[in-house]
Structures are given as C-alpha cells and as structure tokens.
Amino acid sequence: MDLEQVKERIKRALADGRLSRQESQDIKAAILSDKKVTEDESKLWRELQDQIFKGEVIVED
C-alpha cells in the first residue's frame, strides 16, 4: 500500500476523533502490507501515537 493510501486510511479512521482497535489494526496492516516500513510510514504511525498520547484521539474497543 502506498503512503497516500495509508494517510487516507488514517484520515478516515480519525474523522470522528476516535480510533477503534480494529481501525488501529487496519492501519498497521496497511503499513506492513509490503513487508517493509518506510521512514514516512513510521512517521505517520508516530504522529498517530502522539495524538493518542496528547488526548487528541480517543482509543476505544
């Protein structure tokens, strides 16, 4: 999956300010789909984690 597709998946998942465990797993699967993690993909994941840490995104089951 290319970087733009990963970005779009993250954008759709966060549209409501919440991240379900399934959405999180889907994003990780998209990043790992080609068996390599690029620097840009890693940065996107870190930014998502930072938003969760800051309370900007709520994680739910």
5-31 residue pLDDT tens = 999 999 999 999 999 999 999 999 999
Question: Residue 1 — pLDDT band, cuts 50, 70, 90?
Answer: confident
- pLDDT at position 28 is 96
**Shortest CA distance to 49 belongs to which of 16, 10, 15?**
10
**Shortest CA distance to 49 belongs to which of 32, 22, 28, 33?**
28
Domain ranges within the chain, ordered by starting residue: 3-60
pLDDT in tens, 29-54: 999 999 999 999 999 999 999 999 99
Q: What is the mean pLDDT of the chain?
A: 95
